[in-house]
Amino acid sequence: MPMDAEENLPRRKDDPVALLARQDLDPLSVEELEARIDALETEIARTRVKIKRAVNHRASADALFKK
């Protein structure tokens, strides 16, 4: 499903992704940056699981109501 460009923009000023993107990385050490990447990759995986569940739930609901 294609997304509009506006859907990629933060909806609130306190949007966690927008805040994360604005953080200054300069003071972080290499180890801290690697830990940050690990945490972000874990969050990406968690988000992908949530999307997959939502899509499967929607497909199940659609199939139920088409019968």
Residue 7 lies in a domain: no
C-alpha 25, offset from chain centre: 20
Residue 11 lies in a domain: no
More confident residue, 46 or 10: 46
Q: Count CA within 13 A, CB hemisphere, residue 18.
A: 8
Residue 19 lies in a domain: no
How many domains is the chain partitioned into structurally? 1
- The residue assigned the tokens 């949530």 is 50
Cα 19 to Cα 21: distance, rounded to the nearest angstrom? 5
The answer to whether residues 28 and 36 touch, using CB atoms and an 8 Å cutoff, is yes
Is pTM beyond 0.85? Reply is no
Residue 15 lies in a domain: no
Question: 52 lies in which domain range?
Answer: 29-67
- Band (pLDDT 50/70/90 cuts) for residue 5 is low
Residue 5 lies in a domain: no
CA distances from 30 to 19, 34, 35 (A): 21, 6, 9
Residues 26-58 have pLDDT tens digits of 999 999 999 999 999 999 999 999 999 998 887
Question: Residue 59 pLDDT more than 80?
Answer: no
